[in-house]
Amino acid sequence: MAETGSDAQQGQGEMLTPRRPVVPHADSHILHVDMDAFFVAVELLERPELVGKPVIVGFPEGRSVVLSASYEARKSGVRSAMPMSSAMRMCPRAVVIEPVHRKYYDVSARLMDIFRTVTDLVEPLSVDEAFLDVAGAIRRLGSPAEIGAAIRRQIRAELGITASVGIASTKFVAKIASARCKPDGMLLIPAKDTVAYLHTLPVQALWGVGAKTVDVLAKLGIHTVADVAGTPLPVMKRALGATGEHVHNLSWGIDPRPVTPVREEKSLGAETTFATDTNDEALLRRELLRLAHKTGARLRASGQVARTVALKLKYSDFSTITRSRTLGTPIDSAQLLYAEAVSMLNRLGSRPLSLRLIGLRAEGLELAGEATLQLSLERRADNWRDAEIALDAVDAKFGSSSLVPARLLPKAAPQGEQGKSERPRVPGRQASEGKPDKLPE
């Protein structure tokens, strides 16, 4: 068969291979998908009458902080992690909804399932955001922009909420892009334009540049990413120490970190910020028991056990101390976690100041099936664990807090005061019980 056209002129006698279609921006194959006001969005699925109104998710009393705010509330200056008292002064007309974390976990699980239909390379950062490397999905699903648009459509159709998607050649730039197109948008930064785009941004856009670093750099006349890029590396190292080279590299778009599908969780835990500073021993023990049950349940749910138990105390002057103890046998029982935490609390002796916060963490995690367990004739620990597994089953069927230890039940009002009582208030309700592994959005 005679060859015709320009293809024939490329080389007589050579077998020609079909040309693959050019995929736009195939080198920008990292996506950062971030849900818009996630907690609020999930709550509005059940309360559509609040759509378009200022809404805040958080506990309304004490030292609680804003866990999530609708964009209508944000117009008044409300931001996540802001004290609720400040948020209510800024936006007194806002509707406050107390969080129900089980709902957010359920929607998050469905969200991650959507991501994994696109690619196996999914790196969750929290319940509502993740990095995706879609390089291997391009031939099947189209360009990165087409994939990003399809993900947004699927999230809206299946979950009823919206997401913003940043697309770039690196994780760092993809995350910047998703933040810049919120809410409900998509922004692609072509690989060839990465440096030019970064150099239009203020210096605080760089990872690792917080308020203190901004002040240090301002004294050197450095205010933008372009200023950082134009500053000699030795100067950056002298100004910022070990992070100077990292910040300088980012200013040139250098971020070689791959999307890592599995991140080993090195610890699990929880902490409570009290409504008022306290030295009430009974209250401290009650809170440790609550935190131990929360941590124990998370350990069992993840199939892990802990070799180390850590106690954290923050005093009224914001000074913080931690104590930890490594055990001979790994554990996942709330009662054993509680016993170790109380023992460490007792060994600290008298406290110089009242406490603002108490926390408990399980560290040195390993898979329960691979851990070496010590056999014992003592049945007490096993009995506790069996009871806690039964609690897990009840919670899974009827929702968390359906069944709790008697010591965690709200105290009944004294006789004669029932008419005055309001809904029971849990002492020291957590200000920080928000998104796991992430600051409030």
Residue 385 is which amino acid? R
Quick check: 78 and 42 in contact, CB under 8 A?
A: no
Q: How far is residue 161's CA from residue 163's CA, in Å, rounded to a whole number?
A: 7
Nearest to 116 by CA among 33, 28, 24, 23: 33
The active-site residue, picked from 123, 129, 271, 287, is: 129
b or e along 132-150 (b: 16 or more beta carbons within 10 Å of the residue's beta carbon)? bbbbebbeebbbbbebbee
Question: Residue 129 catalytic?
Answer: yes
**Pair of tokens at residue 400:** 């968390």
CB atoms inside a 10 Å sphere around CB 256 = 7
Q: Exposed e or buried b for every residue in 171-197, given b needs 16+ CB within 10 A?
A: bbbbbbbbeebbeebbbbbebebbbeb
Q: Give the separation between CA 247 and CA 236, rounded to whole angstroms.
A: 8
CB burial of residue 377 (10 Å; 0-12, 13-18, 19+): exposed
N-to-C CA span, the chain: 64
Q: Measure Cα distances from 36 to 71, 149, 187 in Å.
A: 9, 15, 15
Kindly report the number of other CB atoms within 10 A of residue 280's CB atom. Answer: 15
Helix (H, G, I), strand (E, B) or coil at 120: coil
Which pair of tokens denotes residue 115? 């991501």
Q: Give the three-class secondary structure for 114.
A: helix
Query: Using CA atoms, how far apart are residues 125 and 377, in angstroms rounded to an integer?
Result: 43
Catalytic residue annotation: 129
